[in-house]
Amino acid sequence: MKLSNKTLSQLPKGVVVPTYDRSHLKIKIVHLGFGAFHRAHQAVFADILASEHKSDWGYCEVNLIGGEKQIEDLKQQDFLFSVCEMSYDDWSTRVVGVAKEALHADIDGIDKILAVMTRPEIAIVSMTVTEKGYCYLPATASIDTDNKLIKHDIENPTKPKTLPGVIVEALRLRKEKGLKPFTVMSCDNMPENGHVTRNVVLALAKLRDANLANWIDQNVTFPSTMVDRIVPAVTPETMDKIQKQLGGIEDPAGVAGEPFKQWVIEDKFVNGRPEWQKAGAELVDDVLPYEEMKLRMLNGSHSFLAYLGYLAGYLHIDECMQDPNYVKAARHLMLQEQATTLRVQGVDLQAYADSLIERYRNTGLKHRTWQIAMDGTLKLPQRMLDSIRFHLANNTPFDCLALGVAGWMRYVSGTDDACKAIEVSDPSADKIKQLVATSKDNEDRVTALLSLTHVFGEDLPKNQFFIDKVTKAYLSLRDLGAKQTVQQLAKNF
């Protein structure tokens, strides 16, 4: 039996189920990217509001590319899905009921998705599509016009395939119909995600119609957000545990994450919003300081542990935390090399670092280092390189950050410390593979990978001090391996 309206009454007593009348929910938010993180984060906030504060804000869940099965599963179980919180061996579960509709571009057609986005009552279009989904080119702070899908959207604007293309066409239709615009809210893990979204949407709109671009610029808001909850990729083992939590009832759309969750939102909405603050979200004027704190202290240390942990044979973050040298290095990275670069006010960064270490120790999570190591070319700039630029400008040490960059270089070279092949998943994987194949496994490898200017910019590949530090760390990883290199570094802290 699958999770459904009919099976809700058969769930174990400890499972939290919707106590509100789901028929009273109104679809006011279209969410693009029905992935695990959205289910375990924004959807839970909405479910808490509906359960405890009588909110009527409901979702239409949309996948544009991939995730066909997720949407089909959701449809088959009355748009219900479960979210488990994993705290070591203590699990708790709630069934989320705020989704009322689900669509996939390849199954239902893009016209149907655009029709939903142009309903008068749609007030917000939110998204979790990962960095790749924005077709954003950091070097130009604009849209990547060489992206084949963007080229398609330029040539076929009324049949878009990309996130920017869908938003531009939906807004054009709303403008044409004389409807209020919706707010466009990114919930992806990028610095200034609202600015990024605004830049790609306006850039694509300008290529199509200057008047449309001007209307969007004048009438649509793109609030930035900071989102935080560790949600590992779902594994067969996770699914088995979820089914046990549900008393044997299947839920292929179920997800599991850590107990902690945080959401900081720039309070800038043109057509209303839920009262997220009642569910624990923070509504602020400026999200950027919080974003930087999270991206550098949490995500930066996560990437550090992912590259160096995977090389050493640690397949999950909690395994890294069983190595005292990795713990010491991660804490030093957070407090001495990342916290010192931040502008956030009124936050106890020591306590924040301690909480991160404790979250990483959670043996219930099983967050794969390989998963975190994905898409490094998109993650390195905001997680490590911006901080390195700060230290270079201020003549302050950045040994852990340099080792993190070298760890990425060693990781994408394709072999771990046990000489096992690494499956490198990255949008620039082909270029990386070429650079690795045509460079020697020494300082030449560092030079070759630094030629990726869309990652390192024009400045870092010319900074000899930076090159020397990364090269020294890389050679140590080559000669000693990750465990011993981290151990030697930790002796200095």
Give the span between the Cα atoms of 318 and 188, in whole angstroms. 24
Backbone angles phi, psi at 347, to 5 degrees: -115, 130
CB burial of 227-240 (b: ≥16 within 10 Å; e: otherwise) equals bbbbbbebeeebbe
Phi and psi (nearest 5°) for 102?
Answer: -145, 135
Identity of residue 14: G
Backbone phi, psi, residue 418, to 5°: -100, 15
Contact 265, 283 (CB under 8 A): yes
- β-pairing verdict for 99-104 and 90-96: unpaired
Q: Phi/psi at 259 (nearest 5 deg)?
A: -65, -35
Judge whether 209 and 171 are in contact, CB under 8 Å: no
Q: What is the pLDDT of residues 258-295, one digit of tens each?
A: 999 999 999 999 999 999 999 999 999 999 999 999 99
Please tell me whether residue 150 adopts helix, strand or coil conformation: helix
Instruction: Catalogue the long-range contacts made by 72-76 (C-beta closer than 8 Å, 24 or more residues apart).
Output: 72/104, 72/107, 73/252, 73/253, 74/34, 74/99, 74/102, 74/253, 75/102, 76/2, 76/4
With beta carbons less than 8 A apart as the criterion, state whether 102 and 43 touch.
no
Residue 119 CA to residue 106 CA, distance in Å, equals: 21
SS3 letters across 431-479? HHHHHHHCCCCCHHHHHHHHCCHHHHCCCHHHCHHHHHHHHHHHHHHHH
Residue 285 burial class via C-beta count within 10 angstroms: exposed 0-12, middle 13-18, buried 19 and up: exposed
Instruction: Write out the E strands in 192-331.
Output: 225-228, 255-257, 262-266, 282-284
- Per-residue confidence (pLDDT) for residue 364, from 0 to 100: 87
pLDDT at residue number 243: 97
Domains and CATH numbers, the chain: 8-284 (3.40.50.720), 288-490 (1.10.1040.10)
φ and ψ at 81, to 5 degrees? -155, 160
180 DSSP 8-state letter: P
pLDDT, averaged per 10 consecutive residues of the chain (493 residues), comes to 96 96 98 97 98 98 96 97 90 97 98 98 97 87 93 97 98 98 95 95 97 98 96 92 96 96 97 98 94 95 98 97 98 98 93 96 92 96 96 98 98 98 96 98 98 95 98 98 98 92
Residue 398 to residue 296: CA distance in whole angstroms: 13
Quote the pLDDT of residue 138. Answer: 77
pLDDT at residue number 365: 85
